Structure 1
């Protein structure tokens, strides 16, 4: 008797579990950066990126994918890697200037910026719910930042604090633009994207350290251990968020990712002993609520869209769609012009193009074949 092959998708809530693990690794990486004060933040980023580059190079070799990505998507790939590198550099530097909780909170305003940029650049819908979440997010950022034109000169804002807040906001904006650009990467596998993102981070990090003359060889084994943990946590975060979005819709994953804000506050108070202002708690709560609302809204949107999507014989031949059998199910080939509307579109291509067979292996679909022609009755 042959054993049935284990299918991870049969495990209840496995996508949510992967998202929770991703959140833990992401938050732990931020904590490691705060603890590694002996070396420059960009040096931590560079060494961590070297670890990720090696890991995902091995993944590409194992999966036997095209290392350069699709030839028609190399410009979006370059933009995504550059913007992602700038975002990570801004975020890592902000960790050293402001509390971990404040930097993480502002960084996770990115989903709202994604919706705004998708409306401006891709003409995607930006309705009342997106406007409401944007207003809540802006209010939360104001409470965290406490600008002097609202609180007066007695806020205690130093130059480092202002710079840290600006860098965290820049990280959110650049990663939002990067996510928007990622919607053009419908055929490039996720390991290729992460590999080139990590490699570009290494190159730009080395150049930046040389220009700033801030390179310092880690002096103790503890520093090396923390830096190595940062890289491993970053690579693990990328792995589990990719798995989460393969196994679950983007909406619930975004809701779970909002837990990063809560965990960062816990780390700030219990481990780092950072002083957290009441306004930061309120602002963090507002941004957390905004992410939850946006995630649930996208979740419902995805669910309704899946209900309305035509399958099998419901496909209209005049629309030039084709019906294929995937894993025993009849589905409709979605034309590549259809764009993904996920909050985190960088890991899941909803626009299926059968000219890119690796997409199906990426979605854990092993057998793709055209349906047999029907015999006339």
Structure 2
């Protein structure tokens, strides 16, 4: 029988549920960004980041954040690193989804669980045996079948956006780093974690607007239509909710399981695309969606698989 010390810890299903809900919020937020083509993505990120700062600041000052704007001693440097990595992740995500075909960007970015498994094994000492390796392989295969990227299926244009693909690759790396660093901050109240990320993303998105030479009349932004403002607020609220939920999920469950569960985002996006945009799937997309579902269920039942394997002759 497998020694008790070598078995994975039991799955915290509350953490898995929060991770799933976080994925749903991020998926809906991404759909709103996709629908809102009349506003620069960095403007949307500025609005979202500002709303997050305004929402988290009272919780940090007067709530359970205990008035520690920079976080508790011993975590402050780590929180700044988390804020920088998280802010950079958001900037890269917004750029990659705007510049690349949705399939390409989704395939690259949602391969981040591979990096999360490796990084969580190195820095968090989480187990990463044959079972997890197989789950990650199955997950990536499912994502590829759903997205059908042109650079694999040879169905896209011959010329690709180098900047867009570079942003997507780095977004994948920063997404994995962000989840691992947030897991290291699991003992810090979520309001402090989200506040630091929000401040960094606000600075980065505003700086990107200025650096790239975007010039926007404030009057133009104020006089947007009610539909544009509704979608902009939806992007902000859903993004904030997703960020809080993933921070809470990482307080309860390991980075590897949270990352794989959040990969269910692609299945939700696939369902949303069918019912909201009328884009019906082929058999490859259906098979890929089923593979992702199997991965999510499998990683949740990991300890039972190890237990059964340990008692078999």
TM-score category (smaller protein): 0.7 to 0.9
Question: Compared with structure 1, are the counterparts of its residues 90 and 286 closer, same or farther at alpha carbon in structure 2 (3 Å cutoff)?
Answer: farther
Rounded Cα–Cα distance in structure 2 between residues aligned with 1:165 and 1:257: 22
Query: Which protein shows a greater Rg?
Result: 1
User: Do 1:106 and 1:169's aligned partners in 2 also have CA atoms closer than 8 Å?
Assistant: yes
Q: Which residue of 1 aligns with 2:160?
A: 159
Q: Which residue of 2 aligns with 1:127?
A: 129
User: Do 2:91 and 2:204's aligned partners in 1 also have CA atoms closer than 8 Å?
Assistant: no
Rounded Cα–Cα distance in structure 1 between residues aligned with 2:95 and 2:236: 16
Query: How far 1:168 moved relative to its partner?
Result: 3.7
Q: Which residue of 1 aligns with 2:265?
A: 260
Rounded Cα–Cα distance in structure 1 between residues aligned with 2:261 and 2:157: 33
Q: Which has the larger displacement, 69-78 or 196-205?
A: 69-78
Q: Which residue of 2 aligns with 1:111?
A: 113
Query: How far 1:141 moved relative to its partner?
Result: 5.2
User: Do 1:70 and 1:188's aligned partners in 2 also have CA atoms closer than 8 Å?
Assistant: yes
Rounded Cα–Cα distance in structure 2 between residues aligned with 1:98 and 1:274: 18
Instruction: Please list the CA deviations of residues 182-232 of structure 1 after superposition, one character each: whole Å capped at 9, or x if unmatched.
Output: 343254322111001001100011110111123544333322221111111
User: Do 1:252 and 1:299's aligned partners in 2 also have CA atoms closer than 8 Å?
Assistant: no
Rounded Cα–Cα distance in structure 2 between residues aligned with 1:282 and 1:164: 28
Q: Which residue of 2 aligns with 1:46?
A: 46
Q: Which has the larger displacement, 196-205 or 103-112?
A: 103-112
Query: How far 1:265 moved relative to its partner?
Result: 0.9
User: Do 1:30 and 1:100's aligned partners in 2 also have CA atoms closer than 8 Å?
Assistant: no
Rounded Cα–Cα distance in structure 1 between residues aligned with 2:293 and 2:226: 37
Instruction: Give matches, 1:296-375, under 5 Å.
Output: 296-297=301-302
Unaligned runs of 5+ in 2: 1-12, 307-313
1:294 pairs with 2:295: no
Question: Compared with structure 1, are the counterparts of its residues 163 and 197 closer, same or farther at alpha carbon in structure 2 (3 Å cutoff)?
Answer: same
Q: Which residue of 1 aligns with 2:37?
A: 37
Counterpart secondary structure, 2:98: helix
Q: Which residue of 2 aligns with 1:81?
A: 83
Instruction: Give matches, 1:188-337, under 5 Å.
Output: 188-216=188-216, 217-218=220-221, 219-242=224-247, 249=253, 257-272=262-277, 279=284, 282-297=287-302
User: Do 1:105 and 1:287's aligned partners in 2 also have CA atoms closer than 8 Å?
Assistant: no
Q: Which has the larger displacement, 234-243 or 81-90?
A: 234-243
Work out which structure has the larger RCO, using CA pairs closer than 8 Å and 6 or more positions apart in sequence.
2
Q: Which residue of 1 aligns with 2:22?
A: 22
Query: How far 1:131 moved relative to its partner?
Result: 1.8
Q: Which residue of 2 aligns with 1:139?
A: 141
Unaligned runs of 5+ in 1: 1-12, 302-377
Rounded Cα–Cα distance in structure 1 between residues aligned with 2:159 and 2:272: 23
Question: Compared with structure 1, are the counterparts of its residues 20 and 117 closer, same or farther at alpha carbon in structure 2 (3 Å cutoff)?
Answer: closer
User: Do 1:101 and 1:268's aligned partners in 2 also have CA atoms closer than 8 Å?
Assistant: no
Cα RMSD (Å) of the superposition? 3.5
Rounded Cα–Cα distance in structure 1 between residues aligned with 2:94 and 2:243: 17
Rounded Cα–Cα distance in structure 2 between residues aligned with 1:291 and 1:44: 31
TM-score (norm 1): 0.63
Counterpart secondary structure, 2:116: helix
Query: How far 1:264 moved relative to its partner?
Result: 0.5
Q: How many residues align?
A: 286
Q: Which has the higher helix share?
A: 2
User: Do 1:137 and 1:290's aligned partners in 2 also have CA atoms closer than 8 Å?
Assistant: yes
Rounded Cα–Cα distance in structure 2 between residues aligned with 1:249 and 1:207: 34
User: Do 1:94 and 1:167's aligned partners in 2 also have CA atoms closer than 8 Å?
Assistant: yes
Rounded Cα–Cα distance in structure 1 between residues aligned with 2:304 and 2:258: 9
User: Do 1:29 and 1:233's aligned partners in 2 also have CA atoms closer than 8 Å?
Assistant: yes
1:180 pairs with 2:180: yes
Query: How far 1:273 moved relative to its partner?
Result: 5.0
Rounded Cα–Cα distance in structure 2 between residues aligned with 1:131 and 1:16: 19
User: Do 1:32 and 1:226's aligned partners in 2 also have CA atoms closer than 8 Å?
Assistant: yes
